[in-house]
Amino acid sequence: MRLPLSLLVVFAMTTLATAQSKPAGPAVKDEPFGTAPEIPNPADKAKPIRPESKITAYTLVNKSGAWVKILTLGGIIAELHVPDRDGKLGDVVLGFDSIDGYLKDSPYFGCITGRVANRIANGKFTLDGKEYAVPVNNGKNSLHGGTAGFDKMVWKADASLSAHGPTLKLTYTSPDGSQGYPGELSCVVQYTWTDANELRIDYSATTNKATVVNLTNHSYFNLGGHASGTVLDHELTLAADKYTPTDDSLIPIGKIEPVAGTPLDFTKPAKIGARIKQIKADPVGYDHNFVHGDKNTAEPKLCATVTEPKSGRVMEVRTTEPGVQLYTGNFLDGKVKGKGGAVYPQYGAICLETQHFPDSPNQPTFPSITLKPGDEYRTTTIYKFGTAK
């Protein structure tokens, strides 16, 4: 039986703003988080791309008192407080204290990216013999759904307490032709914050016309705490012995090659900073799609493990997706001021974006991201937090 949301607010919020607080759970609380202005629609002034909208922040607390805050704007994971080896809670995702930062300065902090995460070469693809053009917003390519992707949309929210922990179901319907993509796409993204400190994200979508879809979450993790400096001493293991090489604009060249003998080999634990300067890129750093399968799996499988030595925090990533994009905050430049006035330096976080491969619509040898009427897009990713013994 679903309880009214008002009855789910069972914890005191007097000290919730601090990383050390331990509110009682399981519980859900919602509170205002500012207003997102209208995004005009040049093609139809009467139907803005995004109407002016009130944004709500939902806080999910599990039995142990660990908690996550999620916004209806872009499904953004704004805060994620998990214990270190001494049981002290710390916020391990980069972000902002107010809506203004997410509207003006955010490099996709914590958001849902879509319709198509990652890049589409030259902002074009062909589907069923017809060429489609989508916005170019990353050099000559389209990135994360275009100029008004899912990260900028306001999602409808439904919060509840489930048998597995507090849950937030977000829904959004993308109109046919939005950002150039065909088909009306109905999306559901459900966050579940379990008592085992697992953030489970279940994605699903249906369409009324053949289209392409590739959703992910773009959280920036720093297990030492969001304001603790770089992640270069974090230890990373990837269950992937191959990757997709790219050109200088990060578009795959169509090959899948082994990581052995390259700075991309994380099949055994290695510090993120150990070989990062060997990467030939501008700016230098990891921004690569790793391959750990050739199709979706029925159940989430381990694809990555990250350990932070000082706090002892460990994050395991499991997914049904065949790829994961490793990004090390290369474009962070110390100018973006985040929560509590924190300045986020280059390499100040690690992103592990579970996904199908970049530019899949233009790469016939890659797993397909085409979705047709009558079919359902489904994928699951789990970020599990613990501590090293």
Q: Which residues are catalytic?
A: 218, 353
What is the spatial distance between Cα 254 and Cα 245, in angstroms, rounded to a whole number? 8
In contact, 324 and 317? CB cutoff 8 Å: yes
Q: Are 26 and 68 in contact (CB under 8 A)?
A: no
DSSP assignment letter at 5: H
Only one residue has tokens 């902090």, namely 109
Give the chain's largest Cα–Cα span.
Answer: 58
Containing 304, the helix (H) or strand (E) segment is: strand 301-307
User: Which CA distances in Å does 279 have to 262, 284, 345?
Assistant: 9, 6, 18
CB distance 374 to 186 below 8 Å = no
CB of 331 within 8 A of CB of 283?
yes
Q: 270: which strand partners?
A: 236
- Residue in this structure with the two tokens 């977000």, named with its chain if needed: 170
- Cα distance between residue 186 and residue 191, in whole Å: 17
Residue 70 identity (one-letter amino acid): I
Cα angle 229, 235, 237 (rounded to 5 degrees) comes to: 140
User: Which pairing describes strands 119-120 and 77-83: parallel, antiparallel, or unpaired?
Assistant: unpaired
Give the Cα separation of 186 and 215 in Å (integer): 12
Q: Specify the length of the chain in residues.
A: 389
**Contact partners, residue 84, CB within 8 Å, separation at least 6:** 90, 311, 312, 313, 387
